[in-house]
Amino acid sequence: MYSSPPMHGALLVHRVLSSPDKFKRWCQELSSISRRILEIRKTLKEKLLDMKTLGNWDHIVNQIGMFSYTGLNGKKS
């Protein structure tokens, strides 16, 4: 079943997108978060390679978005 979602999310989006200053700050924050995610993925790949972990880890840095698939499991090789 679906019901009407609350309005506060839409009101927040409207407030941010309607203000040039708030929109600019939001864009800066998104950019900062995106850079941080890329940095963490790069570091993870480097650590895996330093530890000589078997496998090709290019997929870690080639993925986009907030979530990623590492391919790691609990087994030790």
The per-residue pLDDT for range 22-32, each reduced to its tens digit, is: 999 999 999 99
Q: What's the rounded Cα separation, in Å, for the pair 70 and 76?
A: 15
Residue 56, in any domain of the structure:
yes
Q: What's the rounded Cα separation, in Å, for the pair 65 and 38?
A: 9
Residue 48, in any domain of the structure:
yes
Residue 45, in any domain of the structure:
yes
For CA atoms 30, 34, 39, 40, the dihedral sign is positive
Helix (H) or strand (E) holding 46, with range, is helix 20-50
Residue 12, in any domain of the structure:
yes
pLDDT (tens digit, 9 = 90+) per residue, 11-50? 999 999 999 999 999 999 999 999 999 999 999 999 999 9
Average pLDDT, the chain: 91
Which structural domain range is residue 25 located in? 8-62
Residue 57, in any domain of the structure:
yes
Residue 41, in any domain of the structure:
yes
When divided into structural domains, the chain yields a total of 1
Residue 1, in any domain of the structure:
no
25 to 7, 17, 22, 29: CA distances (angstroms): 23, 11, 5, 6
Residue 73, in any domain of the structure:
no
Residue 2, pLDDT score: 67
